[in-house]
Amino acid sequence: MQGELTSFIYPIVDVFQRAAEQKHVTLTCIVGQFPPQPQVFDSDKWEKILTNLLANALKFTPTGGQISLTINPVWEVGEGRRVQIQLTDSGIGIAPDQLPHIFNRFYQVDTSSTRAYGGTGIGLALVKELIDLLEGTITVESEPGVGTTFRLTLPLQFVSTSLDLPAINDSVVKPSADWEWS
């Protein structure tokens, strides 16, 4: 898809903001200033990544909790153009010994038949797979009873516009005055 990443993200966040309201959870979203050029990104993959992470944050954050999402462009020399995403929740958290396993297919921290949360344990495995395909990165930090933070970086390609192009008019080769068509 070619367009503005931020205008693609807002409606997705909006859906979760409404769901959060129902649960009396606050979901804030802060998006940094992106350059005005259009961007090229795989919207299917971006949507699946964001919805899975937001769905988890909402599912594992009890009433009265907070979720915050920040999205910022980063240009680092040698690193190219990337987007940094941070999603923090004040939810139940994940124990240190469980943390290395959460990206494994079908892994769930609480697998007891009385577990309070639905799902099948494939969301984060899919997220990791999609991030690998996009050549991005994901890390997680968590503290039981305090909350969880996921940090992602994803490459973002910008479409060059006429503004980016060197002034070529002066260097266009023109036929010289003595050129003659015969």
Of the candidate residues 3, 80, 119, 155, the single one contacting ligand ATP (CB under 6 A): 119
| From 11-19, 34-42, 123-131, 160-168, span contacting ligand ATP (CB under 6 A) | 123-131
**Measured CA angle at 35 (ends 16, 130), to 5 deg:** 50
d(CA 46, CA 5): 9
Of the candidate residues 123, 127, 147, 156, the single one contacting Mg ion (CB under 5 A): 123
d(CA 142, CA 91): 10
Of the candidate residues 94, 130, 138, 152, the single one contacting ligand ATP (CB under 6 A): 94
- Nearest to residue 74, comparing CAs of 107, 17, 35, 123? 35
Of the candidate residues 22, 63, 114, 120, the single one contacting ligand ATP (CB under 6 A): 120
Contacts of residue 30, Cβ cutoff 8 Å, sequence gap at least 6? 68, 69, 70, 71
The entry of ligand ATP, Mg ion, none that residue 63 binds, CB within 5 to 8 Å by partner kind: none
Contact characters 54-73, Mg ion, x per CB under 5 A: --x-----------------
Interaxial angle between packed helices 123-133 and 43-59, expressed in degrees from 0 to 180 and rounded to the nearest 10:
150
Residues near ligand ATP (CB under 6 A): 52, 56-57, 60, 89, 91-94, 102, 107-109, 119-125, 148
State the residues that interact with Mg ion by CB under 5 A: 56, 119, 123
